[in-house]
Amino acid sequence: MCPRGADPLSFSGFAQATRRCNGFVELAVLICLSLSGGSEAISADISAGRDSNGNNIIILRGAIETGDAVKIEKLKKERIFYAIDLNSPGGNYIEALRIVDVMYPPIATFIDKGAECYSACAIIFMAGKAGGGSGGTYANRRLHYFGKLGFHAPYLSNVTGQFSGEAVQEAYGAAVMSMRELMKRQIIPQSLLTEMLAKEPDDAFFVDTVDKAGRWDIQVVGFRERPITKKMFCTACESHMSWKYDASSHASRCGVTGTTNDDGDGFHMRQSGSDYLIRILFRLPRDVSTECKIRVSPGSVSFNDMPFVAAAFGPPGRDLESGDIDRFLIYPFHYFDGSTLLRDMDR
């Protein structure tokens, strides 16, 4: 199944029997990349613009084709951009990897309300980063809760005729090499790659729940602000315990008292200046206990006018301190149960 905007390409020789569809290059295409410039497909519309906060952004609309990486690289030489705003059905898989390679200095990625980003576009989206220098980089990819993000594997389409063993072996080797090139860039977590490769040609794997977004470090934005309850703090901590190890957190065990065992004595909160310090007790197997230590700073707001929240796990009995290791940020969408569909976050 080919979404609109991803026109098939034809190639000579062995590749005449195959077509590229929805942005992921099929096996035969992978061995004929030098011919991809002969496509009649219209390349993406790439331009400079500004977001609602006045930041410089690159706007990418339409199917991704050969030459689009050069366009982006040229724009980046003219000024510093904060993010790439994506709305694309996919396109040329190899060109998507080229775009990933020119996304330095780090640049964030964003899928806005109503926008769609599939296959090759999804690869670019997952390369979104911020930071740099001595402080290193970190993932910075934002998905509006009413945007669509979908992945699927490379595949063969409309294959007819007879082919030599040499041609099939060459195509197979090229397919393996294409996946190697993707894995080298380390932008797709292993668990997401597994889900992506499991999808049939006419299907896609969508990031459509809080758990999927949190597990793969995708920030969900655009939903309305709401009061944060004890249960929501507990849910965010519990989910992070799973996401830290690239595991799912489908359904929260947290109760209204803010703990997983409905123990009211396991939730502690006190005010320190303008900040709030919270400790949540988690009882683990083999009689082991740990606390999720949280600092809420109302003066520092995030994307949805909700405060940035720093947290860490550690031995019970003390508040979060600056020297605590393995600190993490709690983003507003982390307060939702992992099974929540993104489109239902405003209900």
Q: What is the pLDDT of residues 258-314, one digit of tens each?
A: 988 776 789 999 999 988 999 999 988 888 889 999 999 876 655 455 666 899 999
Nearest C-alpha neighbor of 192 from the set 149, 238, 221: 149
Q: Between 323 and 106, name the one with better pLDDT.
A: 106
73: containing domain: 13-207
At residue 321 the predicted structure's pLDDT band, cuts being 50, 70 and 90, is confident
* Residue 183 maps to a domain: yes
Q: Between 6 and 64, name the one with better pLDDT.
A: 64
* Residue 149 maps to a domain: yes
Q: Does one domain contain both 127 and 274? A: no
Q: Does one domain contain both 22 and 66? A: yes
Q: Does one domain contain both 36 and 81? A: yes
Q: Does one domain contain both 28 and 163? A: yes
- How many domains, in total, are found in the chain? 2
Q: Does one domain contain both 192 and 237? A: no
> What is the DSSP track for 140-203?
-EEEETTSEEEE------S--S---HHHHHHHHHHHHHHHHHHHHTT-S-HHHHHHHHT--TT-
d(CA 240, CA 21): 36
Q: Does one domain contain both 91 and 20? A: yes
**For residue 228, is it left (φ>0), alpha (ψ between -120 and 50) or beta?**
beta
Give the mean pLDDT of 3-24.
32
89 pLDDT more than 70: yes
d(CA 314, CA 309): 16
What Å distances lie between residue 289 and 14, 254, 270, 345, CA to CA?
62, 15, 21, 32
Q: Among 32-41, 48-57, 327-336, name the one with the lowest average pLDDT.
A: 32-41
* Residue 311 maps to a domain: yes
d(CA 159, CA 19): 8
Confirm if 66 and 25 have CB atoms less than 8 A apart. Answer: no
How many other C-beta atoms are found inside a 10 Å radius of the C-beta of residue 15? 21
* Residue 332 maps to a domain: yes
d(CA 248, CA 265): 28
d(CA 330, CA 79): 32
Mark which of 180, 207, 234 sits at the end of a domain. 207
* Residue 283 maps to a domain: yes
Nearest C-alpha neighbor of 121 from the set 68, 52, 174, 198: 68
What is the CATH classification number for the domain harbouring 165? 3.90.226.10
Q: Does one domain contain both 327 and 247? A: yes
Q: Does one domain contain both 59 and 177? A: yes
At residue 195 the predicted structure's pLDDT band, cuts being 50, 70 and 90, is very high
Q: Does one domain contain both 41 and 148? A: yes
* Residue 218 maps to a domain: no
Q: Is 116 helix (H, G, I), strand (E, B) or coil?
A: strand
Q: Does one domain contain both 109 and 190? A: yes
Nearest C-alpha neighbor of 130 from the set 159, 114, 110: 110
* Residue 97 maps to a domain: yes
For the chain, what is the mean pLDDT?
Answer: 82
* Residue 261 maps to a domain: yes
Q: Does one domain contain both 158 and 270? A: no
pTM: 0.83
Q: Does one domain contain both 190 and 241? A: no
d(CA 278, CA 320): 8
